[in-house]
Structure 1
């Protein structure tokens, strides 16, 4: 007897939709669908009403959908796109995480209107959602309009977290809106993109207007100036690398990129942590997926490089965030070829000149910084008439100078722990004392630090005398305290107070 494995359809829909966590992924899927529909213009509008409900509207002038296309749009794993971006039919399932999906599309003289109510609520109630279809004849040009009401991602969807700047960088870095395909073909399919947010979300500008080309920073191979390595930039023109597999198939890897300094790289529309954006990106459909920085080699820092290596044989996870076939021969062949290609880039005479120039300029900056710091220190010393310690270690240096210059008692540092309340043990004429070394005595009392184990204070200056007078006016840690700077002691306690000597170094060390 043979049995056929069953699929829990509800669970599959929930699982696929749940793979999409970033609310911006709805924009990525919308742009991919519009591109696959041969659209030349796509408009995205994100609105939020007074009650906080959100609506996403995506419109394009692509070839539209007929009834079979609409079924593919709503079905799972039933795409009719062949090898287009969304050929698995997973991407549009992100729309299921909503309260309502409305589709209005025109194709070949037929207009279709479709509505799916409460898809996410029904799926979580273990029910497959349904959608309506109404068809009418029309003479309108082909187009598609999709409305997603009450969209949510992750634990929820907050449109106000979507700013124009964040969306624009995401489009260029993570979607077909940042395609590198235009480098490789003369008949590149250009698509103009407009994104508009309601003023309650972001009122800093009217809209985003861009197209689907990722452009590199301007080339600047040998800028004039003394400290200009950060501005240097070289483009490495598009190359098609061909790799033969053992089974006779051939892989084509389309590589294009740039090397540049920090200022040049800052002109790129990166998305996320800046330092995590550079290196060698593997891409499919000319959309960046994962980095392969091993191709650069340990001797070269990855953040100088920005290359995109596109191969259509890469297999991606449902949410297009990861490469699935890393263990296969295709991935191995791609990475081996990239290793060879990037080795040549790293051996390029311009790159070697750039690295040497950068190192030389870094040294010059370091020297200038040190000179500037020294000048500031000299000026401060002249204004103060000598050394003015700024930390405990410098107080130790002054204490040693004090002891070496004919002090009435010889005091040595027997032990020092910077962060301890009693941070020093002093050897005073052979006797050990627990001590607190402070730049200013008044600093010690700001945090109400206990005095129980302190035998002596050593400070550069007494500090804020008004602050110390304020400490005297009320019990300190439950006991009376008096500062007697005629005798340079602190008297702490009631009837038989402890006497704690205070050694102020500023007046004793020249």
Structure 2
């Protein structure tokens, strides 16, 4: 029996790590994590085109810098010398920098030599099944100012200007990198200092987008909208005038325990807020929605990793909650959690859910969602009042009917009024004889396929469709054989006009012996009762000019 050691093909690993990058912006996440681990107070990000016009990036910091061993680790695979309190532990993240034409690193460590590293065509080498090589140059003099500058020239991604413009970069940094950490909120929890490095330190970020010509300095912390529980009204809003500007904060919640002798803890913080507040702290990518962006995120090192479904609420996207735990084990690309089924993570989720369900959601219901409900009710009241006022103003402009022995005084201006007048005329023994075909109404329903079930003059049950204008029969998507007769206020289509029902049956308007009908399938007929014509006949008989 032989004993064998598996062979690891370094070139394939390098290439797969570089190729399988989920989001090209991750290059900034990795660079910023390294800068924060190096205790940088200032991080400078430059977006530009090099002298060949190629899209390039430069990330510079004033952190501790690297010596010869550390810079070799930077280029090696899985060779991280960082401690457990650092963000980058696996030595894989910086390899996504290799997707470029050239990569250079200039680094200075106090009382050590300045080092310049250069790697030519790393991506091409990997595609050609070769490990990329790099050179190191050293100065003889010791330096007295520390820091590191990384240049990625011709970053090989599609449409770089779409992803790496100032607005997208700013949003990504403040949401998904160590410069968007929310550890500052928990800085007073002394025990966390044993697990998270530099709890009190947040770097300043300087973005210089030379392509768009925009510069801005950012505070390197996650952005939450400020508390605003009695907000001003937004006059541009129709319904949610105040709640769009509402914001309430929850936390900080810190819980800890011991499981199998290991310290386990989580930290929870966030807000419930209206859409204006959410817009203020985010800039969505093309096709992204606020429902996609907001909710509850799982985080490690106080950096959001991915969204979670811990909030079982249809309005989850009104929340902006972050759940951090140093007990989460991240995948190599830091885009997922790989120990969800562990006893530690189950305890974290169970206790986080308890806080959410017993504390956060009740407060949100009694504050934010109560305000939204009140606004919805008020909007409904206002809308109905406005509609009534409009109706009171407009009905008087309608023409009078001028028939004293019927109860209706105004001509119809909608389908319901047409149905009402039709019923009134049928109920009047003097005018009922003016209505051909139909004797009485059995049932009326506006939410049914056909409006009326009636009896015709021969006591047969027939289906009658009511329309204000005849042309509406083709607009309201009525299928064939759902009506035998049509009652309308007015015929508004020309004779011999041909139109199709929703199911493709062609109808043609015809007139014969003063009667209108729609002809279909050779010579079959759907009779039409035009109420305005009947009304005119009654008025003429009564000697009324109209």
Would you say same fold, with TM above 0.5? yes
| In structure 2, distance between residues paired with 1:67 and 1:410 | 100
131, 145, 148: which is aligned to 1:144? 148
Please tell me whether the aligned partners of residues 270 and 277 of structure 1 are also in contact (alpha carbons under 8 angstroms). Answer: no
| In structure 1, distance between residues paired with 2:455 and 2:11 | 78
Deviation at 1:6, TM superposition (A): 1.5
Q: Verify: 1:194 aligned to 2:206, yes or no.
A: yes
Please tell me whether the aligned partners of residues 243 and 337 of structure 1 are also in contact (alpha carbons under 8 angstroms). Answer: no
Aligned-partner SS, 1:258 = strand
Q: Verify: 1:333 aligned to 2:347, yes or no.
A: yes
Please tell me whether the aligned partners of residues 106 and 115 of structure 2 are also in contact (alpha carbons under 8 angstroms). Answer: yes
| In structure 2, distance between residues paired with 1:106 and 1:209 | 24
Please tell me whether the aligned partners of residues 239 and 254 of structure 1 are also in contact (alpha carbons under 8 angstroms). Answer: yes
Q: Verify: 1:254 aligned to 2:279, yes or no.
A: no
Deviation at 1:212, TM superposition (A): 1.0
| Corresponding residue of 1:388 | 413
| In structure 1, distance between residues paired with 2:201 and 2:102 | 32
Trace 1:488-507 onto structure 2 (pairs within 5 A): 489=516, 502-506=528-532
- For the aligned residue pairs, the C-alpha RMSD in angstroms reads 4.5
Deviations 1:10-44 (A, max 9, x none): 22223222332322222222222222222222222
| In structure 2, distance between residues paired with 1:289 and 1:321 | 6
Please tell me whether the aligned partners of residues 241 and 254 of structure 1 are also in contact (alpha carbons under 8 angstroms). Answer: yes
Please tell me whether the aligned partners of residues 176 and 304 of structure 2 are also in contact (alpha carbons under 8 angstroms). Answer: yes
Deviation at 1:325, TM superposition (A): 0.6
Deviation at 1:396, TM superposition (A): 6.7
Query: Structure 1 stretches of 5 or more lacking a match?
Result: none
Please tell me whether the aligned partners of residues 398 and 509 of structure 1 are also in contact (alpha carbons under 8 angstroms). Answer: no
Aligned-partner SS, 1:207 = strand
| Corresponding residue of 2:378 | 364
Deviations 1:392-449 (A, max 9, x none): x8877776666566223318799999999x9999975467999987654557789xx9
Deviations 1:162-220 (A, max 9, x none): 44333322222222222111112276222111223344xx46xx233212112422223
| In structure 2, distance between residues paired with 1:424 and 1:137 | 99
Rate the CA distance shift 1:40–1:398 in 2: closer, same or farther, 3 A: farther
If the length of structure 2 is used for normalisation, what is the TM-score? 0.73
| In structure 2, distance between residues paired with 1:353 and 1:491 | 59
| Corresponding residue of 2:196 | none
Rate the CA distance shift 1:227–1:57 in 2: closer, same or farther, 3 A: closer
Please tell me whether the aligned partners of residues 402 and 508 of structure 1 are also in contact (alpha carbons under 8 angstroms). Answer: no
254, 258, 269: which is aligned to 2:282? 269
Aligned-partner SS, 1:116 = strand
| Corresponding residue of 2:224 | 216
Deviation at 1:509, TM superposition (A): 7.0
Deviation at 1:102, TM superposition (A): 2.5
Query: Structure 2 stretches of 5 or more lacking a match?
Result: 189-198, 234-239, 400-410, 499-503, 537-546
If the length of structure 1 is used for normalisation, what is the TM-score? 0.77
Please tell me whether the aligned partners of residues 495 and 511 of structure 2 are also in contact (alpha carbons under 8 angstroms). Answer: no
| In structure 2, distance between residues paired with 1:188 and 1:459 | 76
Aligned-partner SS, 1:35 = helix
Instruction: Kindly name which structure, 1 or 2, has the bigger radius of gyration based on alpha carbons.
Output: 2
Rate the CA distance shift 1:378–1:136 in 2: closer, same or farther, 3 A: farther
Rate the CA distance shift 1:269–1:491 in 2: closer, same or farther, 3 A: closer
| Corresponding residue of 1:171 | 173
Deviation at 1:52, TM superposition (A): 7.4
| In structure 1, distance between residues paired with 2:334 and 2:418 | 60
| Corresponding residue of 1:133 | 136
